Amino acid sequence: MAKYKKKTVRKLQQDKFRDTTMNLFDRLGDLLEGRGRQILYGVVGLVVVGLLVLFFVKWSNRKSDEARQALGRAITISTANVGAPLPGADDTAMTFTSEAERSQRAIDEFEKVAAKYGDPYRSQARYFIASNRLAVDRAKAVTELTELQNSSVPEVAALSKFALAQVKESDGKLDEAAQIYSDLARSNGPTITAETANLKLAKIYEKQGKKKEAADILFNIVDASRKAKDADNQPAQISAAAREAADELKKLDPDRYAQLPPEATPSFLG
């Protein structure tokens, strides 16, 4: 009985709130006259739409945070130690007896992410699945990477192409690897830069005995990096790829290396 009374009181309160609200809208409508009531309801509609948008944004942010955390857990597994625990490692740190065991466990976690969340997290998870699968099912991994190089998520497409080129290179399919690296160099995206792709391409040419082609690419990488300026017209910071290219050129063709402009020292204002 008491429970019923509480429900009745709540219903009366709701009815009172509803009546008060509608009376308020009616009074405002009378004041606005003519089209005023339509304008008022239009404003109320906009408020409702705004609240729905706000709800969706908050929900989306929560889902994104959740997806990132799930990806992070899977990545932690994929980078865990293989073999005996490292000296001084946390007792709770994961270790695996083999790379295949670790890869399979990581694949299982990434598959959960791919099944639960939309892009870009789904495509990112699929890329990690393919990368880890190289240790347990190389043929299937290559098929997955080949599909992912056409992903609508740019960074996933670039990383998949780069991984596929590395697989081709390790399998001795140097012409195919060179073609992929050339495509990535032309794209010059933020994920795989032209410097990085061209450095790999030069190393392919070295393996193929194309010394001049390799030296030309290495020289151009280093030359451009040493002449580059930042937003303040100061010498730009030399990238890791450009430094590696300089080391490669110095070993491959010392005479060509000697033709490079000297490396500028960035100036810092105190």
Report the CATH number at residue 247.
Answer: 1.25.40
| pLDDT for res 22 | 47
Q: Does 203 share its domain with 230? A: yes
Helix (H, G, I), strand (E, B) or coil at 265: coil
Q: Does 63 share its domain with 126? A: yes
pLDDT at position 116 over 80? yes
Instruction: Please give the single-letter amino acid code of residue 230.
Output: D
Assigned domain for 22 exists: no
Q: Does 165 share its domain with 258? A: yes
Q: Does 120 share its domain with 144? A: yes
Contact 125, 154 (CB under 8 A): no
> What is the distance between the alpha carbons of residues 89 and 95, in angstroms, rounded to a whole number?
10
Q: Does 104 share its domain with 196? A: no
Half-sphere exposure of 245 (CA within 13 A, CB side): 29
Assigned domain for 6 exists: no
Half-sphere exposure of 249 (CA within 13 A, CB side): 25
* Total of domains in the chain: 2
> What is the distance between the alpha carbons of residues 202 and 217, in angstroms, rounded to a whole number?
6
Reported pTM: 0.73
Q: Does 110 share its domain with 162? A: no
Helix (H, G, I), strand (E, B) or coil at 270: coil
Report the pLDDT averaged over residues 234-242. Answer: 93
Q: Does 258 share its domain with 180? A: yes
**Mean pLDDT of the residues in the chain:** 82
Q: Does 254 share its domain with 206? A: yes
More confident of the two residues 266 and 114: 114
- pLDDT band, very low/low/confident/very high, at 61 (cuts 50, 70, 90): confident
> Strand runs (DSSP E) across 13-164, as ranges?
81-82, 95-96
> What is the distance between the alpha carbons of residues 72 and 120, in angstroms, rounded to a whole number?
14
What are 85-102's pLDDT values in tens digits? 767 666 567 889 999 999
pLDDT at position 12 over 80? no
Domain interval for residue 128:
53-81+96-148
